Copies of this chain bind each other. A is one copy, B any other.
């Protein structure tokens, strides 16, 4: 083993040691990772997300993955000769579309399980239908019936808790049971948010196709690292937050008000975005926290 090599290894050891206060403070904490968008379309990114979550599990956290799969659904819808239709951003979901959506999402679900298993970490793929985990009412978009699309009515955490307590990583497909016991599509962001709130999760992380929240959307250097819910409310009022980011931020604010300590909006297009956000002082995206900005011990320490 050459001298040069040795130095490299020492740097690595120091990196592990630097992670020590983070690992200590995150120990036994629940984190919900909403996984979707670009992060799902690239094999390398995909592997990195799964590895990040595996690591969170191994160092003692309780991770839950909630995933999407919209583009894959559209692919299969057209494969059987149908045309995708959207109203107000929501997919119009007739019975056949629902059938396809369920098939596709469950397959994505088991694919993620398979990747986790290949790392030697036990994962269990479920949908919101299993054990009545996600129960929904039919959603109306501006009063319009768009088929089998649901609004979360309540979350039954018994199955997810059982899995977490026995060291399985729950991977959840955003399909729900209606109160009429039919299958419903549910927005993956909403599902992740509902589960994080029901679990009183420490963290909820959205892997998105954006770097985070900007003070001035036209200025890339105005990315905000930490945002209190009050500041978020202000940004919404001032019109700084709009478009697809608006419902996401509303979800974040609701989650924090319901007891989730921090919601992270992270750029899923970056390798190891979860580790970069969680294990560095400043992070790479935007963390939304409550007004009192409760800090982790390692943050308090770092301020001294």
Contacts and interface: CB of A to CB of B under 8 A. Distances in A.
Interface string A1-20: 10000100111111111111
Given A80-B79, A162-B163, A15 B15 contact: yes
A141 interface: no
Protomer copies: 6
Nearest to A119: B20
Interface in A10-60: 10-21, 23-25, 27, 48, 51-52, 54-55, 58-60
A121 interface: yes
Chain A interface helix/strand/loop/mixed:
helix
Contact of A107 (B10, B25, B103, B168): B103
Contact of A1 (B20, B162, B282): B282
Contacts of A20: 51, 54-55, 58, 119
A125 to B, nearest CB: 5
Interface stretch (A129-137, A200-208, A230-238): A129-137
Given A114-B183, A124-B159, A130-B113, A52 B280 contact: no
Interface residues of A, number: 74
B122 A110 contact: no
A167 B11 CA distance: 29
Contact of A52 (B17, B24, B103): B17
A146 interface: no
A213 interface: no
A1 B280 CA distance: 11
A127 B103 CA distance: 13
A181 B114 contact: yes
Contacts of A15: 11-12, 15-16
A97 interface: no
B168 A131 contact: yes
28 contacts: A1-B282, A1-B284, A6-B284, A10-B271, A12-B15, A16-B55, A17-B272, A19-B55, A21-B119, A80-B80, A102-B106, A103-B106, A106-B106, A106-B107, A110-B127, A110-B130, A113-B129, A113-B130, A114-B183, A117-B129, A117-B132, A122-B131, A126-B126, A131-B168, A159-B168, A162-B162, A162-B166, A162-B168
Given A13-B272, A113-B130, A130-B123, A118 B181 contact: yes
